Structure 1
């Protein structure tokens, strides 16, 4: 795809108006950071989710993902990156003080796990909704294996304020509406898909993994060995985002459309209703035997693995697709970020600023509809970068033509700098341009990427990933214990934990039907229609 620079420039100049600048200050972001709990020797914790952290089912900021051992920290949408960073520090401080001497694994790829059976599946209590969440995870284990589900990442949630979308619609000669906002978000999403290979290049931090992760896997990748049992690829950036990691061969046949919300929803619903020959071997409730929620390609919408998702907050037991149909896109969820191993909280403030620049640039650039060949090209570029991103000989495809990664970056970063200047003006800062300059240094010198720094550290001392991770975990444990509470103190966290335990008990007490009926009614609920 070639960028129409005149259109980009016109849009950029329009955003310099006082009204647009004011709206840009109200961009909101939130973070979902995943992290394994580990013992002091670096092994995966087998202990249940600590009661002191509250109920994973109902706590707003501390929960679990696939495993009892896989913590997930959630921050609300905020218009200042500094506030989100402070909230993450508060959560980490409270957690490290309440996990009985355990530590937080600082890498995306799992610590040493001898056997998948050692990964305890998350438990959410005895309510119907809690049981459903657990059965869904049992299904993930049966479909893809538990080891893949033990991978951790960081999700970056991003939204423009309604005032921005009203001005944007006017700028483009459209009427401002929920439907138009969703259409514009999809325009951004399409360009994100075109350029998202840049995210693992700049932020990928999983060029190596523990040999236990490869046990029993057929991969055919040319791994080399460092330390006692760590395997790496010399130019890899994010093995987490490779076919070894958080991907699904079963879903590769899905042709998810990012051109229109109606088509996106229809294809997701179709996948949830289409039987899978591969997954038909697992029971789905017959005679009370639940090895998965359904035998279909997707059990629920959340099973779709994608580097970005359009999102709308759901109400109780509301399907994500129904929420999108009823209320349109509220924010986007960037899902291609590895945990930043060089930050105790898994992400740095400069990443916030660069991602703002990147996502606003994706909106400002022209964004034609993606056809199947273009989406395939985008996926191929992503796969090349996660496996070979720092290879100086690497060639990507841009509209069917080969181009080097640095050459493509040169064009993109010229636009990023203009967008950074705009956001600096709007926010009366210089942090956006500084963030872009910091990332440009990684393009000039691949050794400065997180994957390059991490791999060089392993090779320099012939060190295992597990040793490196444990060293960081011990350092960060001390750092977290030294954080001063800013937004939420220990008493408030303790109160929130107790409130979540009480809320879970209320949910369990309120159940009025058996689990079989609950699941049947959930899937039999007619799909929501627009303006319903």
Structure 2
């Protein structure tokens, strides 16, 4: 077990040593960007995933999430943010060139959708693993409704290098092994969860939504209306992260444990084996029909909603918890980012540099184990900021004491600036400090936040979310047509598509079990 005896100041000072200075530039990032396909009038595209883009089951770069219409673009781990952004731009360009007149929706909250039945569930082929994916999504539809599932986000994957971990473990006088690395990653995760409210404040960009999103649903929020059918909350930052978006009331009683790897794995496993009376109304067998994979609180681990996850690359049909248990944490996935509507790629370079500072800070800072009150406090703070993060004088709670968002943020940014200097030094640039200053501008003036800028544009012109979204969708598609491929050529994309289809066919041909037996065996492992 790792030892956590050094203070933040001691750890920060140590990062000036040569072994850290040479390893810090090797931090790696990858992006998973979700985007809805829409038709030229702004409605949800109900066409199937274009065959020219390949097979979603087996494509490493271009796939779908919940719906055929909800695309997901994945970049590999890279050190340079510019490289990742260029790869992402290449993916966007190729997709734009193969979806005809359709566009990509540039924001998190969905476009105008008539009925939930018009949201086509993603299809992955005829294999057992493909059917499992489809049944899982049917379960999500039955449990939460499809509308919630077509909210888009950006996932930011982040990892330290082997050389960094060697230096870090040497500093703490512990062995550089999987257990200790995982323990330190969980230190980072707990601090991130405590400070997760800062992410929607800085990057939330969904203060408004289309009225169709709430059709037939009860909600507790005092929405105001603008345009023909847009609802908004004056101080909201990220309705995507609110009770309207990624929530699961059944999960609130799960008590997922973030104190160490073993506790986390055990609590997640317990969740996928905890029966839910609420979900038992949906069938989950061959005889009655597959309306979900099972009637437990979580069908599978992917259903767990969290602003951050520990990750390990899973092998074929390996459960995420099994991968973590056998090989430890290899990277973390930040899931609290709205799609940035002011970026053609859904994320910009400044976000990379600031998130590097923020996540390194979360590792450097002392990280007490979570108690239930501390965990509840972190959730309450996040809930408050997504709904009214820009409200003047908004109060949060820190270690049981009230503190204003403004004061807490200002304290944090004093230390962020120190971390940024270390990263600047290691990378021989000033980009980290510049990124921190840009984000601090949002603390000093909430009008600089993306949520405020988005809402002020809507209010100034009395236009709907959909109107502005469609304008940007057209602008971004037009812009992409004038770009050149920088990392992945068109021929490479076409080869990837061809190979992914061939791989999907091989998976289908390799099936030897009925679907019922396949599912039984999967959960018996």
- Shorter-chain TM-score bucket reads over 0.9
1:227 to 2:264 alignment:
no
Partner of 1:132: 132
Alpha-carbon distance in structure 2 between the residues aligned to 1:504 and 1:292: 23
Partner of 2:411: 411
Partner of 1:108: 108
Partner of 2:206: 206
Alpha-carbon distance in structure 2 between the residues aligned to 1:506 and 1:5: 52
2:280 aligns to what SS in structure 1? coil
1:28-427 matches, within 5 Å, as 28-287=28-287, 289-427=289-427
Alpha-carbon distance in structure 2 between the residues aligned to 1:479 and 1:304: 37
Q: Tell me, yes or no, if the aligned pair for 2:6 and 2:172 is still in contact at 8 Å.
A: no
Deviation, 1:430, is 1.1
Count how many residue pairs are aligned between Structure 1 and Structure 2.
522
Alpha-carbon distance in structure 2 between the residues aligned to 1:474 and 1:337: 23
RMSD, matched Cα = 1.1
Alpha-carbon distance in structure 2 between the residues aligned to 1:266 and 1:329: 15
Residues 448-473 of structure 1: per-residue CA shift (max 9 Å, x gap): 10000000000001110000100110
Deviation, 1:341, is 0.1
Alpha-carbon distance in structure 2 between the residues aligned to 1:399 and 1:197: 15
Alpha-carbon distance in structure 2 between the residues aligned to 1:288 and 1:381: 43
Deviation, 1:361, is 0.3
Deviation, 1:286, is 4.2
Q: Tell me, yes or no, if the aligned pair for 2:393 and 2:405 is still in contact at 8 Å.
A: no
Deviation, 1:5, is 13
Partner of 2:482: 482
Q: Tell me, yes or no, if the aligned pair for 1:201 and 1:385 is still in contact at 8 Å.
A: yes
Deviation, 1:260, is 1.1
Partner of 2:496: 496
Change (3 A) 1:144 1:468: same
2:272 aligns to what SS in structure 1? helix
2:46 aligns to what SS in structure 1? coil
Task: Return 5+ residue gaps in structure 1 as ranges.
Answer: 526-532
Deviation, 1:7, is 1.6
Residues 289-334 of structure 1: per-residue CA shift (max 9 Å, x gap): 1000010000000000000000000001000000000000000000
Alpha-carbon distance in structure 2 between the residues aligned to 1:129 and 1:113: 29
Residues 158-216 of structure 1: per-residue CA shift (max 9 Å, x gap): 00011111111111121111000000000000000010100000000000000000111
Alpha-carbon distance in structure 2 between the residues aligned to 1:354 and 1:247: 27
Alpha-carbon distance in structure 2 between the residues aligned to 1:17 and 1:254: 42
Partner of 1:470: 470
1:279 aligns to what SS in structure 2? helix
Alpha-carbon distance in structure 2 between the residues aligned to 1:136 and 1:451: 33
1:488-527 matches, within 5 Å, as 488-525=488-525
Change (3 A) 1:192 1:152: same
Alpha-carbon distance in structure 2 between the residues aligned to 1:202 and 1:501: 40
Change (3 A) 1:113 1:62: same
Q: Tell me, yes or no, if the aligned pair for 1:288 and 1:516 is still in contact at 8 Å.
A: no
1:280 aligns to what SS in structure 2? helix
Deviation, 1:288, is 5.8
Residues 480-532 of structure 1: per-residue CA shift (max 9 Å, x gap): 1122111111111011101101110111011111111100100011xxxxxxx
Residues 12-48 of structure 1: per-residue CA shift (max 9 Å, x gap): 1101111101111110000000000000000000100
Q: Tell me, yes or no, if the aligned pair for 2:230 and 2:465 is still in contact at 8 Å.
A: yes
1:295 aligns to what SS in structure 2? coil
Alpha-carbon distance in structure 1 between the residues aligned to 2:483 and 2:134: 34
Q: Tell me, yes or no, if the aligned pair for 2:43 and 2:112 is still in contact at 8 Å.
A: yes
Deviation, 1:393, is 2.3
1:406 aligns to what SS in structure 2? helix
Q: Tell me, yes or no, if the aligned pair for 2:205 and 2:340 is still in contact at 8 Å.
A: yes
Q: How high is the TM-score relative to the length of structure 1? A: 0.97
Partner of 2:429: 429
1:125 aligns to what SS in structure 2? coil
Alpha-carbon distance in structure 1 between the residues aligned to 2:237 and 2:326: 39
Q: Tell me, yes or no, if the aligned pair for 2:417 and 2:436 is still in contact at 8 Å.
A: yes
Deviation, 1:143, is 0.5
1:333 aligns to what SS in structure 2? strand
Residues 411-444 of structure 1: per-residue CA shift (max 9 Å, x gap): 1001110111111111111111111000000001
1:110 aligns to what SS in structure 2? coil
1:33 aligns to what SS in structure 2? strand
2:285 aligns to what SS in structure 1? strand
Alpha-carbon distance in structure 2 between the residues aligned to 1:5 and 1:387: 37
Alpha-carbon distance in structure 2 between the residues aligned to 1:345 and 1:105: 11
Alpha-carbon distance in structure 1 between the residues aligned to 2:196 and 2:255: 18
Alpha-carbon distance in structure 2 between the residues aligned to 1:290 and 1:151: 24
Deviation, 1:6, is 8.5
Alpha-carbon distance in structure 1 between the residues aligned to 2:424 and 2:485: 28
Partner of 1:530: none
Residues 212-256 of structure 1: per-residue CA shift (max 9 Å, x gap): 001111111010001000000000000000000011111111111
Task: Return 5+ residue gaps in structure 2 as ranges.
Answer: none
